[in-house]
Structure 1
Amino acid sequence: MRRIIPIVILLFIGFVYTFPFFQAGFFETHDGEWAIIRLAEMQRELRDFQIPARWSDYLNHGYGYPLFQFTYPLPFYLGALISLSNIGLTTTIKILFVASVFLSGVGMYFLGRKISSSFGGLLGTLFYIASPFRLTDLYVRGSLGESLSFAIFPWLFYVSYRYIERPDRKTFILGALLLGSLILTHNVSALLVFPFWIGFLYVVTLSLRKNKMMYTLKYFLPLIFLGVSVSAFFILPVLFEKKFVLLSQIPIADTARHFVAFADFLNSARGYNGIPSFQLGLAHLVAVSLLFISLFFTSWTKVKKYRIFVLYGLFSIAVMIFFSNSFSYFLWKYPPLSWVDFPWRFLTPLTFMISFLTIFLPIRTFTKILGTFLIVLAIFMTLPYVSVQNRINREDSYYQTNDATTTSADELMPIWVRQKPEKRYDEKVEVETGFATLSNTFFNSKQISFLVESQEQSVIKVNIIYFPGWEFTLNGVPVLPTLGNGDGLMRLTIPAGITKVDGVLGNTFIRMVSNFISLVGLGVIFFMAVSIFFIKKNHEKH
């Protein structure tokens, strides 16, 4: 019964905080509908067997856009898998948002129960679900990637603790998959939480192991390497081919305007029409302050093993607050911080770390009592956040035929495009100069082919923005497309006669290498999983 009660509470609270998702239709947020459009694009690309998905042919008025080359893809791979049951685009995205809440709650419960106690796990879960910034992500920002990263954080920390406690192949595989999944789910959140996760690994090792250096070299480095390898197909092109898009030249926002003032942590507007709310929650901050004070006024002799975790959590929170505040402005000019668009992104790992600390409230009687009062207060204070601005009800066709880029400033536009497309073309291929007839045109997100009957040398304009990897042949002979007029579109010079034109979006060298690394990583995981299965079978026989 004692095990069932926390689960029942979690299910009930989870349902209360996700209730708007169970109602018909969707609702307006900053990015929520973009997620639906991106899912429609992912479906298109997977139907075309463009694996991994990189180039979105339909977006940008049909001229193409390297969306999943630079935008976290895992939520949309999962969405494409879920949507195979024909439940619709909007419903699929809603399922992912709801799952992010329940999975994060269960993960925090297991983490808290492992390190502290069952009640500590329950407190951490409730504080986590009732975090104001989490609710801002759900109902104001509509950030699918960040919402799902909230779900991965506690599981990554929990499995890491288990791995240090008792290293085996199973936890090694799970740890690597969780790290890789976090990078693929929201690479910015992964970047920001990574040093604090490394700190957590060190703290756990410090408390459980004697030979810390050998343990790090033998167990941690292979796990990190394998986790990064799984995500290499995405993260390496992001790093090495970012130079091809506007994001490498023009920042999305002025960093100086997106720091969080200390007062905003306690009270800031919900921000439906602009900058989101940065509230961390009064009850949450009081809980953290309570733990901080208890370090000085409480004897920790009987709970010595928890002290290092509380100190780690408090230090991490202080560092995250520093980097989200303008005091750290001088550091944001340098990598890796310069890779992050907004300093307030630190609120994502900060929200997790605050909730993580609350799992230690029950270790003393007075903090346990006050912690119980504070979580009740937190729930009552954040329930008003479970509301939506405007309800919308659109058919899937609306999202499947959207011509936008799904990025705020078209920052993934190739740098050679000086004149952005403003409307959809009439034909996918056109005769720009000369006399020619075009026929048998076929195209999808990764290839195009057509037949040209030309009376003289002609120039054919292909209404696809060039991106490295596009390769063309004329009657089987490789040719290089040319660009012109600042529109970034590809053009082919065709000789007189009948010419069969074939174009394919291939891989650059870095994409081939990154794909290979990911395949090797997944292969290692597969063979390790198979070995675990057969070892278990052999043990059962004997």
Structure 2
Amino acid sequence: MKKVIGLIFVIILSFWSVKSLIGRGYFPMHDDTQVARVVVMGKALRNGQFPVRWVSDLGYGYGYPLYNFYGPLPYYFGGSLYALGVDSVMATKWMFGIGTVLAAVTMYFLLYPMLGLLAAVTGSIVFLYAPYHAVQIFIRGSVGEYWAVAFIPLLLLGINKKKPIIGTLGLAGIILSHTILGFISTIVLGFSIVIFMIRRRDWNMLNILFLGLGISTFFWLPAIVEMQYTSVSNMISSSSTSFSDHFICLSQLWNSPWGYGGSALGCTDGMSFKIGKFHSILFLLSLLLLLFNRLVIRLKRINIIILIVAAYTITMIFFMLPLSSFIWSIFPLTRYIQYPWRLLSFVTVGIGIMSAYIVASWKAPIIRLLTAGILITGTIIINAKLFIPQYQYLRNTEQFETKEELRFRISKISDEYLPKDINRPKNVRDIVQKAVSNTSSIQVKELSLKETLMRYEIISLKPQELQMNIAYFPGWIFFVNNHEVIPNIVSGIPSVTISAGMSIIEARFVNTPIRTVANCISLISIVACLALCTYGKKTNA
């Protein structure tokens, strides 16, 4: 019962973090594609596609394999709401809000068995109201990142309590929410396994690693193998963005001006990367308690756990500073991380845990209560005001879903998953209206029109090449009168040969061998988790 009461308190105290999401308005953010991504996910789910890989409308109307590469988990939630009839803006804001509060809830579940109720509530709120959390939600609009951060406590809970199923869900949740944070988490977990397996033969973390990677294989394996068919690699290699331009100055971690701009070279960024004075003081205070609190025998094991958390947090801070540039330069894959300040996500987790340790360190219940009250109140008073957008505006929901909005304005923001050589429209008049259109020599009747299945009845006055306005990607196969044909690909667009008279043209998007293998591995991993869960229950019975 105490655990439930604490959880209710955490949810209530989360109110100020999502207060700005209540109401009819919407707000701008750096990644201003969120409503569109919810809409196309919802349409794909409504049409029966699962797992969702290909989306229509985006990619200037050519469509593209957005969720073959981009963390889909938050959008499964938002898209499901949209598919069930919730309007697109409301579904998107629910996606924002659930991801935000989920972080506090999972942190509470991590801390409660470790440090008790008061410490768990305190750590959850300190974690939730970290300044960088506000940056993610209301400035960057990086939904995938703050959903991924919400799963980190589950990963840690699974490791600490030797509950591989929970840890597996945590790791899989991180990977499926945000590719880059998933990559970092997997590397850190792998490094930890090497370190701790040397000290003691503990297979728990290894189980979590394999099962977490296994469940999410349907996403990350095709993403790695099929990335070569997109423009992503070209964009990264030709981009002027360098990780060395985006290190954080040490003074910025203590405090830096709040803004709604972007990341820039040096210490004068348009947005804040501060840990914050209050959070920094809590972190330093927890380090002092960790060093000198040897009299509290009941926290002896916890001291070791907190020491590990502190070490990882300090390491993450180090890797955000210019001092670490020589290490970044050694590993070529760091170019995919792009911004060292992404590691602030992990720092906020560490500080949340460390702040809970401050409360748990006191023996006297009244002092623990007072300490928790001061830390929670101080955190909300100081940082709740950061959880607001730059401004809000009213716009009809339908305007977020027009062809012009989806196929041009949003497509311009994010078109990296289109083929490398495809011609990108320069103005709205050039966007694709239909996959196949009537011309002077052909008449077109749509028989089926879904993301992964297009079927047309074509009446042609002469033999000719019929262009299909689809961004070609492995998995597309084409049929003319029920016979599979090999398309001619020009500038990323397929065309098929038809004869004079009536023809039935069909385009299907099917699994490639690598996607089939990946799907099977994920299914096997899910079955393994269920078997492990059942075995664990029988063992405990």
**Aligned partners of 1:298 and 1:172: how far apart in 2?**
31
**Aligned partners of 2:6 and 2:434: how far apart in 1?**
60
Measure how far apart 1:528 and its partner are: 5.2
Aligned to 1:21: 21
- The answer on whether the counterparts of 2:164 and 2:205 sit within 8 Å (CA) in structure 1 is no
Match of 1:268 among 251, 256, 260: 256
Does residue 1:175 correspond to 2:171, yes or no? no
Match of 1:287 among 279, 282, 288: 282
Which letter maps to 1:12? I
Aligned to 1:135: 134
- Deviation per CA, 1:225-267, whole angstroms, max 9, x where unpaired? 2221111111011111111111112226332222211111122
Aligned to 1:337: 334
- Deviation per CA, 1:380-426, whole angstroms, max 9, x where unpaired? 22122032222123333222222245574522221122544643235
**Aligned partners of 2:358 and 2:72: how far apart in 1?**
37
Which letter maps to 1:182? I
Cα separation, partners in 2 of 1:23 and 1:450, compared to 1, 3 Å: closer
Measure how far apart 1:269 and its partner are: 3.0
Aligned to 1:449: 455
- The answer on whether the counterparts of 1:283 and 1:374 sit within 8 Å (CA) in structure 2 is no
Aligned to 2:266: none
Aligned to 2:356: 359
Match of 1:412 among 414, 417, 420: 417
Measure how far apart 1:304 and its partner are: 2.6
Aligned to 1:191: 183
- The answer on whether the counterparts of 2:56 and 2:64 sit within 8 Å (CA) in structure 1 is yes
1:16-165 mapped onto 2 (5 Å cutoff): 16-31=16-31, 33-162=32-161, 164=162
Q: Secondary structure at the match of 1:250?
A: helix
**Aligned partners of 2:399 and 2:102: how far apart in 1?**
30
Measure how far apart 1:39 and its partner are: 0.8
**Aligned partners of 1:481 and 1:331: how far apart in 2?**
46
**Aligned partners of 1:111 and 1:529: how far apart in 2?**
19
Which letter maps to 2:22? F
Cα separation, partners in 2 of 1:306 and 1:174, compared to 1, 3 Å: closer
- The answer on whether the counterparts of 2:75 and 2:95 sit within 8 Å (CA) in structure 1 is no
**Aligned partners of 1:280 and 1:44: how far apart in 2?**
39
Q: Secondary structure at the match of 2:470?
A: strand
Cα separation, partners in 2 of 1:175 and 1:294, compared to 1, 3 Å: closer
Does residue 1:479 correspond to 2:480, yes or no? no
**Aligned partners of 2:287 and 2:71: how far apart in 1?**
36
1:212-291 mapped onto 2 (5 Å cutoff): 213-216=200-203, 219-251=204-236, 253-275=241-263, 276-291=271-286
**Aligned partners of 1:235 and 1:4: how far apart in 2?**
36
Which letter maps to 2:166? L
Does residue 1:515 correspond to 2:519, yes or no? yes
The range that moved more, 305-314 or 407-416, is 407-416
TM score, norm. by length of structure 1: 0.86
Aligned to 2:268: none
**Aligned partners of 1:149 and 1:384: how far apart in 2?**
24
Cα separation, partners in 2 of 1:109 and 1:174, compared to 1, 3 Å: closer
- The answer on whether the counterparts of 1:431 and 1:460 sit within 8 Å (CA) in structure 2 is no
Runs of 5+ unmatched residues, structure 2: 264-270
Aligned to 1:429: 436
- Deviation per CA, 1:64-91, whole angstroms, max 9, x where unpaired? 1221111111111122333455332222
Which letter maps to 2:134? L
Measure how far apart 1:139 and its partner are: 1.7
**Aligned partners of 1:406 and 1:430: how far apart in 2?**
21
Aligned to 2:267: none
**Aligned partners of 2:287 and 2:69: how far apart in 1?**
40
The range that moved more, 412-421 or 234-243, is 412-421
Cα separation, partners in 2 of 1:496 and 1:96, compared to 1, 3 Å: closer
Measure how far apart 1:285 and its partner are: 1.1
- The answer on whether the counterparts of 2:122 and 2:375 sit within 8 Å (CA) in structure 1 is no
Aligned to 1:382: 383
Cα separation, partners in 2 of 1:427 and 1:35, compared to 1, 3 Å: closer
- Deviation per CA, 1:289-345, whole angstroms, max 9, x where unpaired? 122233444435624323222321221122111222222333434244232132211
Measure how far apart 1:37 and its partner are: 1.0
Runs of 5+ unmatched residues, structure 1: 165-170
Aligned to 1:506: 510
- The answer on whether the counterparts of 1:157 and 1:197 sit within 8 Å (CA) in structure 2 is no
The range that moved more, 86-95 or 120-129, is 86-95
Match of 2:310 among 303, 306, 314: 314
**Aligned partners of 1:57 and 1:479: how far apart in 2?**
23
- The answer on whether the counterparts of 1:200 and 1:312 sit within 8 Å (CA) in structure 2 is no
RMSD (Å), alpha carbons:
3.0
Q: Secondary structure at the match of 1:236?
A: helix
**Aligned partners of 1:395 and 1:202: how far apart in 2?**
54
- The answer on whether the counterparts of 1:271 and 1:277 sit within 8 Å (CA) in structure 2 is yes
- Deviation per CA, 1:407-459, whole angstroms, max 9, x where unpaired? 74522221122544643235432589xx8423223432112222333444311
**Aligned partners of 1:14 and 1:370: how far apart in 2?**
19
- Deviation per CA, 1:9-65, whole angstroms, max 9, x where unpaired? 42332112221112222222223x422110100111122222211111211221112
**Aligned partners of 1:512 and 1:300: how far apart in 2?**
57
**Aligned partners of 2:165 and 2:284: how far apart in 1?**
37
Cα separation, partners in 2 of 1:173 and 1:5, compared to 1, 3 Å: closer
Cα separation, partners in 2 of 1:28 and 1:305, compared to 1, 3 Å: same
Q: Secondary structure at the match of 1:499?
A: strand
Q: Secondary structure at the match of 1:26?
A: coil
**Aligned partners of 1:356 and 1:337: how far apart in 2?**
27
Aligned to 1:168: none
**Aligned partners of 2:78 and 2:530: how far apart in 1?**
23
Which letter maps to 1:317? T
The range that moved more, 376-385 or 406-415, is 406-415
- The answer on whether the counterparts of 1:452 and 1:498 sit within 8 Å (CA) in structure 2 is yes
